[in-house]
A and B are shown apart, each in its own frame.
Chain A
Amino acid sequence: MLAHQFAMESPMIQAEAVEAMEFSELANRYRVSGVPHTVVNDGKGNLIGAVPETNLLAEIQRALAD
C-alpha cells in the first residue's frame, strides 16, 4: 500500500489502513463514500481513489503548509 511505502521512509509518518465497514463511525466522520480514501492529518488533506505517488506527496505538502 502506497501510504505504507511512505511510512517506511520517515519516522514522522504513521500510516494506517482502516477497514471502513468495521470502523464506519470514523469513516462517516471523514465522509468516506468510496474507497480507497486517504485522510491526511485528521482531515487537513483528503485523496479519493487510488492515486499515484506524486499526488499523495503533493497532498501531504499541502496539508503541512496549512
Chain B
Amino acid sequence: MAQLLNDQIQGQIKELFGNLKEPVEIMFFGTKEQCEYCDDTRQLVEEVSALSDKLSLSIHDIQADAGTARQYGVDKTPGLVLAGRDGNQVTDFGVRYAGIPSGHEFSSFINDLVIVSNRDSGLTPQTREFLKGLTKPVHLQVFVTPT
C-alpha cells in the first residue's frame, strides 16, 4: 500500500514529537471480520508510531484478544487506545478512538499523543479539581467526521 503520510507531513509531525516526554503505547484493535477502515487505520498508526522512539504500537484482534478489548473498553473496530507506558507498565487514561482518525481528526490524534506523552491535560485548576473528585463513572462519546 502507498504511504499515507507524505514526507512533508512526516517532517511536521516529527517536529511536534520532538517535545514528547514520556512513552505512549498506541493499542490498535482490528478484526478478521468485515471492517472497511481497519487496514488503513493500522497503516496510519504504524506510520505515526515510527516517527518517535517515545511511541510504541501493539496490535490486537478484538475477538482473539477479547479480554484486553474489554479491559480497555474497546467494542468497535478499528479501535485505538492511547495509553501511558512506563517500562512494562501500561496506564490506561481512558483515551480512545473508534474509527479512523483521518482528515480533520488526524490533528486531534497527533495532539492527543502529545498530551498523553506529557501526562498533562492542560485543563484549568478548577476543572482538574472537580474531575479528580469524581466518584461516578463518566462516559463521553464525541461524534466526529473526517471533513
- List chain A positions with a Cβ less than 8 A from chain B: 1, 3-23, 26-27, 30, 32, 35-42, 53-54, 57, 60-61, 63-64
Contacts and interface: CB of A to CB of B under 8 A. Distances in A.
Given A5-B122, A19-B99, A38-B142, A14 B136 contact: no
Contact of B131 (A10, A14, A42): A10
Contact of A21 (B101, B131, B145): B145
Interface in B95-147: 95-101, 105, 108, 111-112, 115-116, 119-124, 127-128, 130-132, 134-146
Nearest to A3: B140
Given A13-B137, A15-B141, A53-B127, 10 more contacts: A1-B142, A3-B142, A7-B94, A8-B120, A9-B121, A11-B94, A15-B95, A18-B98, A22-B99, A37-B143
B54 interface: no
Contacts, number: 160
B94 to A, nearest CB: 4
A32 B143 contact: yes
B103 to A, nearest CB: 10
A3 B82 CA distance: 13
Contacts of B115: 4-5, 8
A19 B121 CA distance: 22
A19 to B, nearest CB: 3
Consensus secondary structure, chain A interface? mixed
Contacts of A5: 115, 121-123
